[in-house]
Amino acid sequence: MPKDDGIALARPYDGQQAFNELPPNPPNSPPSPPPSPPEVIGDDIGMPIAMTGDPWIDGRRRSAVASHRLMHHVMLPIVLTAVVIFLFLVDCAVHISATMSAKPILQSNLRLALCTASFITCSVAMTIFNKVALVAVPLPLVLVTLQMGVTVLLVLLWNAVAVCVGGRAWNGIKAGSKKDILRWAPVSVLFAGSLYTFTAALHYSTLGAVITWRNLAPLPTMFVECCCFSHARYRATCSSIVGLLVIFAGVMIYGFADSQFSVLGTSLVVINTVVVVLETLSKRHLMTNQTNPLQLTRQAMMLVSNLIGVAIVATAAAFVGEWGKLGAELNELRAGEASYIFCGGIIAALFSYAGLKLTALISATTLLTVTNASKGLVIVFGMLFLADEHTLMALTGCTLAVMGNVLYFAARLKLLEVQSLPKESEQPDRTAEKAGLPRLEKGLKRSEDGPPPDAALPVGKGRGKLSAQLLSR
């Protein structure tokens, strides 16, 4: 046993002494401040929504509130639609004016200015109207069906008025035969698919994301053209490849910066891009076929595309049950929401027509500038008024994607000057429009096999090569 020194026994445990030797209690700390209340947006429109701190959820909520805020401006779509209709009517007046016909250079310049203004306004307005309308009525198939139906009615109404005023010579819906309509039918199916996927992509993604990701279209286009087109094959150049790389880098940068990134929305944009490429190349194949040229006027192309498209999309809407949901959505529809839907249908029809007319008046280079200007306006509007991503990284990605697109098509246009490729076949019974009042010369017989020849309008250089691609972007 260890030796006991007696110290431990001499000091019995004193609990009170041990307690007294403990350090004094710390002073009472001040109470922690209460958590700050979450940010609430939408009070100004009677739609208060609290933020959660999650970037993705908050981004979607800000976008929804911004769209509803825009719906309160009922006169915005009405005024824009009225402006486009006014420009369209003035263009028609300039087109048939005898005074303007005596000054062809002035007439051509006026028409170019009017068509360019109409095209840019329609391009920006249609994209914005569809985005806002989908917040009010989240039924993309129904909206596409309504827009196609309005286009069909307007084309038929316009031609009926033209025939009443100027006779059959002013009829713009002409086809060589039923075979030409059947040849155009696959393009109509792709047209319906491109409209639906674009509208559905707007429902799940922001304006900036849709426009930026669609800049990837030249990638599959170049691949298909190099591999599948024997009679109109483009060669890849260093400048075009650099443009594609810049586009890819810009899209990737924007994708990383987009706090509202949606896998479904991005997938729909990619599918839309592929469908648009197929539609564009199908159009180009038909329009550059010189051995068997397509005998359809541009208005006939519009009518056939929208008639076939409205049948396909309306059937798909019935299959997925969107028509059954339409009644409940219409019961809650307000005046502002209805104005965006109705005006969106009119703008869609006028946009198609403005694009066709602009193609006949300007070169592909000018059309490239106009198309990218409309893209930039859509992106800027989304950032300013629809709460799209507007960080420095997102702006850099958008800029690179658009500039890469410009670089790519500039390289393509330069290549066209040295590479011999077939142009869009200039059949007068398909591509021309009438200038001035209709006249019937003596002794002129009308062909029984096709529409009568028309006087061609002044056209720009290279209009038949990239015009369809640029308009589809």
Which residue has tokens 């702006």?
395
Can you give the pLDDT at residue 152? 92
Cβ-based neighbour number of residue 91 at 10 Å:
20
State the pLDDT at residue 209. Answer: 85
Positions of the chain with pLDDT lower than 70, given as ranges:
1-35, 98-100, 224-236, 288, 356, 359-369, 415-473
**Residue from 191, 197, 190 nearest 272 by CA:** 197
Distance CA 319, CA 316 (A): 5
- Residue 243: what residue type? G
Residue 288 is predicted with a pLDDT of 67
Contact present, 471 and 359 (Cβ < 8 Å): yes
Contact (CB, 8 A) for 428 and 454: yes
Question: Mind listing the pLDDT tens digit for each residue in 386-444?
Answer: 878 788 888 888 888 888 878 887 777 776 666 555 444 444 444 444 444 444 334 44
pLDDT at 312: 95
Q: What is the spatial distance between Cα 196 and Cα 74, in angstroms, rounded to a whole number?
A: 26
Instruction: Write the CA distances from 436 to 92, 172, 244, 455, integer angstroms.
Output: 10, 14, 44, 10
Instruction: Give, rounded to a whole angstrom, the gap between the first and last alpha carbons of the chain.
Output: 98
pLDDT in tens, 230-245: 555 556 678 778 888 8
Give the pLDDT score at 460. 41
Write the single-letter amino acid at 192. A
pLDDT of 226: 65
Q: What is the pLDDT of residues 28-80, one digit of tens each?
A: 666 666 667 777 787 777 778 888 878 878 888 888 888 888 888 888 899 99
Per-residue pLDDT, 9? 47
Residue 376 confidence (pLDDT)? 81
**Domain range list for the chain:** 66-426
Between CA 114 and CA 104 the distance in angstroms is 15
Tokens of 137: 């009525």
Which residue reads 């001499």 in tokens? 10
Model confidence, pTM: 0.73
The pLDDT value given to residue 348:
87
| CB-CB contact of 401 with 473 (8 Å) | no
For 425, phi and psi rounded to 5 degrees? -65, 130
What phi and psi, each to the nearest 5 degrees, are found at residue 41? -120, 160
- Three-state SS across 39-102? CEECHHHCCCEECCCCHHHHHHHHHHHHHHHHHCCCHHHHHHHHHHHHHHHHHHHHHHCHHHHC
Phi, psi of 318 (to 5 degrees): -70, -35
Instruction: Give the C-alpha separation, 173 to 435, whole Å.
Output: 16
Cβ density class 109-127: b for 16+ within 10 Å, e for less: ebbbebbbbbbbbbbbbbb
**DSSP run (H or E) holding 324:** helix 322-331
Q: What are the respective helix, strand and coil percentages of the chain, to the nearest 5?
A: 70, 0, 30
Residue pointed to by tokens 């369209």: 88
Burial class (CB in 10 A: 0-12, 13-18, 19+), 78: middle
